[in-house]
Structures are given as C-alpha cells and as structure tokens.
Amino acid sequence: MSNNYFDAPNDHLSSESLATQGLTYGTVDTGDAAAFGSWLQAEARGFHDGVVPDETIAAWVEGLAYRRSTGVWDETTTDAAAPVATVSSWIAPVTVPGHRAVDAWAISAVTVAPTHRRGIARNLLEGELRTAVSLGVPIAMLTVSEATIYGRFGFAPAVMAADYTVDTRRAAWSGPKPHGRVQFITIDELIDQGPALLEASRLASPGQIEPWPLLWKRIVGRLPGDADAPKNVRVVRYDDVAGTAQGFAVYRMVESTTELFGYNLDVLFQSSATDDAYAGLWRFLFEMDLTNQVTAKLRSVEEPFAWQIADFRAARKTLQRDHLWTRILDVKAALEARIFSAHGTIVLEVTDPLGYAEGSFLLEIADDGTAVVNPLAGEVPGTAAHIALSVNDLGALYLGGVSAVTLTAAGRVTEVRAGSASAVDASFRSPVTPWLSLWF
C-alpha cells in the first residue's frame, strides 16, 4: 500500500473557503494519541454512535494511523479540540476487470456535526478530489451511508451488494461435491492467515480492495472495549486436496427465537480463491446441524450458491443496494488500467462540472482487451460507437457492473450514434460481477 499521500499538503482552496467562516481546516497528527483520539470520537458522533471506550479508541489510534485524516475545527465551541467535521483518506488499489488493480483515492469517515453545515461537506469532498488529482491518483471511491450526497461531486454507484437469507430446511445441496476438506481454525490463526487467503482471491472480483489489519479484528470481535462485537465467533478454513488453504468463513450461531432447539447461522465473512473452495464452504454452512437458516450480508448480487441448492427459492435476497461508488479523475489512466471484454473503437463525450474528466476521448480496444485512450482529435471514426455521458455515469460503467443500455433507457447516457450503448456494454461489461466484501 503506497503512503506518499500521508504528507500531502492541506488543500488551500478549502482552507481559505472555511477560514472565511472562522473555521480551521487541516490534517490531524495521527501520531498524537490525544488529538487523533478526539478526532475519532468526533467521527463516531457523526455516525450517531455513543462515546467510544478509551480502549477501543486506543486500538483505533494504532490501527488507523496510516490514513490521512482531515478535520474542520471551530475554536468557539465548548470542546475546541474536537473537530466539527471529519474525513479520512488513503491510496488503496482497487480491482478492475482483467485481474488487475489500479490505485484509487479511498475516502471514508465523512461527517459534519449537525451544529455546523454551511458548505463544510462540499469543502471536504472537493478538497479530497483536488488532493487525489495532485497525487496523480486516477479515480476516487467510497462506500456511502447516504446516497443523495455524492452525485454532486461526480460519484456514482459502480458495485452493488445484496443480503441473503437461506432456509436450510429447503436448501439441500445440489452443487458439485467438494474435493477438499473444511476444518476449524482459531481466531488468531485467521488474523495471521486471513490477509494471504483474501489476497489470493481479491483480483478475481472487480471492486475489491485490500483490507487493513484492524478490519480483521473487527470482523471477529477482537477490538478491545467493543460492546457490539459479535459473540460466539467460529472460523473454518477450506484446504484443497493438496492441503493448500483456499478459503475461509467466519460465522456465529444465534439461538432462534421461534424454533425449539434451533439456530440461525450468521455468516460474518467468507472468501474463497477457487470454485471448489466456494462450494466446500457454503455446503458446510448450509448443512450445519440444528440450523434453520443462514444469513449473509454484503454479498455479490450474483451468488453461485443460489444455483447450488435444490430449491432455488430457499435463497432470498433480503436487500439489494448500492455499495461502492467511484469517481473518475483521469479518464486515460483509469480506462487504460483495465481489460475490456470486446475489441472496438468508442468515443466518449464526458461532461464534468469540476473539470477533471471533461472532454471527448477516443477509446481504442485491441483484440486482447487492452486499450489506448487519447483526447479525440478530428472527426469521430466512422465505425466507432459514440456516446455522451456525465462523469458520474462513466464511473458507474467503469468496473463493468452497470449497463450502458440501462443508463441509456434511463436518459442518463445519450447514443450519439444509434446502437452505441450495446457496443459499449459488450466492451465494458465484466464477466465477473463486481463485488466489494467490506465497508470502508
């Protein structure tokens, strides 16, 4: 993970704008436990959490110190040391189609105190985008709690997620017989082995990013002082026939409130590097004794396990929603970083109110899926697909999980040349449904 972002200077435009309101904008020294701890408490307050215990804050201070954490302070408040707004960011590689990754500006912890509005969020977000551009990062990304805020800054949903409930009494396994074995491992073993196991599968799914060490402790409830941590956590690992670890699942059993001697199995995290490991882990989870249902949150909207059980209706999507939002900052660098599914020539007329991605671009895709992107010079080639779209919609299309035909039908993309949306879909669509398995 690159860290050249950490010492990037404060954005002077946001600093000057907020200074006119008597507010101070800048980064917090994450090496100062007291100052960073105050910043973290303010972030928790922004998400309506209670006062975070000191031992939890201490773990956060240690585990999140690598991020560039920015705040806005009002010296006239009763607690001048606590910021009235927060945002955190770092450079994280995100998977793109073709088993590749590109550096992205990951934005997190966006909060503004309800006592302070006055354009603070705009200054925070635009400051983050200008900082990313100054560092040469081609895209920005975030997972959002409110879906109405980020479109004005050029973001759009690119990766969706779904929650599932599976009635295990109807979900007899009908998929392939796994060849390896499932075995229990300890939480400490997961914390030690988990990063490598997840890394083995990360490049297979567009939209995935590298997890951070603190995330593993949060998944298994090992953060000190965290009263909301999951209890009764168990971890299993799948080993192939050669004894090589190929995946894992973290789950807990929750006693049913409606069934006598029955449990609900709650999958907290699952990852697999092979189809065999995927089948082995989900079969194990669905066939757990005394279990009436399995719940799994933040999964792909196209889970194979729905096709691996005897009753298709036994697996229900209980919620499907947007998850990862992306924002293109450098059209050439972003598009050339990924592999496309079909060769061809595409002209993209992109509008961007903030100017970063504005222009007409010629996208030339070779037979191997690699692309060259340049500003359009001269006339549009006679055989090129040609669409006009906003930077938001380019971000939605970028990872290959959103259809240009759908966006055209919605009135968001314009076919300058008839039939172009289908041609764009043929090239942009990912053969693997984009999925991000975590929040950030």
Give residue-wise pLDDT tens across range 201-218. Answer: 999 999 999 999 899 888
User: Whole-prediction pTM value?
Assistant: 0.95
Do 176 and 264 fall into the same domain?
A: yes
DSSP secondary structure code for residue 309 in this structure: B
Strand stretches in 291-370, DSSP E:
291-299, 315-328, 344-351, 359-365
Do 150 and 168 fall into the same domain?
A: no
User: What span, in angstroms and rounded, lies between the C-alpha atoms of 57 and 35?
Assistant: 11
Q: Of the residues 95, 127, 154, which one is the last residue of a structural domain?
A: 154
pLDDT at 177: 96
Structurally, the chain folds into a number of domains equal to 3
Lookup: tokens for 359: 């222009």
- Is the predicted pLDDT of residue 397 greater than 90, yes or no? yes
Do 290 and 267 fall into the same domain?
A: yes
Lookup: tokens for 269: 């995290």
Do 291 and 314 fall into the same domain?
A: yes
Give residue-wise pLDDT tens across range 214-268. Answer: 998 888 888 888 777 778 999 999 999 999 999 999 999 999 887 777 899 999 9
CATH at 384: 3.30.1050.10
Q: How many CB atoms lie within 10 A of CB 184?
A: 9
Q: Of the residues 91, 122, 154, which one is the last residue of a structural domain?
A: 154
Q: How many CB atoms lie within 10 A of CB 170?
A: 14
- Is the predicted pLDDT of residue 317 greater than 50, yes or no? yes
- On whether residue 232 sits in a domain, the answer given is yes
Pairing mode, strands 245-255 and 385-390 = unpaired
pLDDT at 229: 76
Do 100 and 230 fall into the same domain?
A: no
Q: Which helix (H) or strand (E) segment is 428 a member of?
A: helix 420-428
User: What span, in angstroms and rounded, lies between the C-alpha atoms of 191 and 197?
Assistant: 10
pLDDT at 1: 45
The number of angstroms, rounded, from the C-alpha of 290 to the middle of its chain's C-alpha atoms is 34
Do 27 and 150 fall into the same domain?
A: yes
Do 206 and 99 fall into the same domain?
A: no
Do 395 and 337 fall into the same domain?
A: yes
For 96-208, where are the alpha helices, taking DSSP H only?
120-134, 187-202
Do 186 and 113 fall into the same domain?
A: no
| Residues forming beta bridges with residue 386, ordered by sequence position | 347
Q: Of the residues 154, 178, 205, which one is the last residue of a structural domain?
A: 154
Do 213 and 255 fall into the same domain?
A: yes
pLDDT at 2: 53
User: What span, in angstroms and rounded, lies between the C-alpha atoms of 282 and 103?
Assistant: 32
Cβ contact 399:300 at 8 Å: no
Give residue-wise pLDDT tens across range 43-54. Answer: 999 999 999 999
Give residue-wise pLDDT tens across range 258-299. Answer: 777 789 999 999 999 999 999 999 999 999 999 999 999 999
3-state helix, strand, coil in the chain (%, to 5): 30, 30, 40
* Parent domain of 405: 331-428
The mean pLDDT value of the chain amounts to 96
CATH at 215: 3.40.630.30
- Is the predicted pLDDT of residue 128 greater than 70, yes or no? yes
Do 337 and 247 fall into the same domain?
A: no
Sign of the torsion angle spanned by Cα atoms 381, 387, 389, 394 = negative
Give residue-wise pLDDT tens across range 373-393. Answer: 999 999 999 999 999 999 999
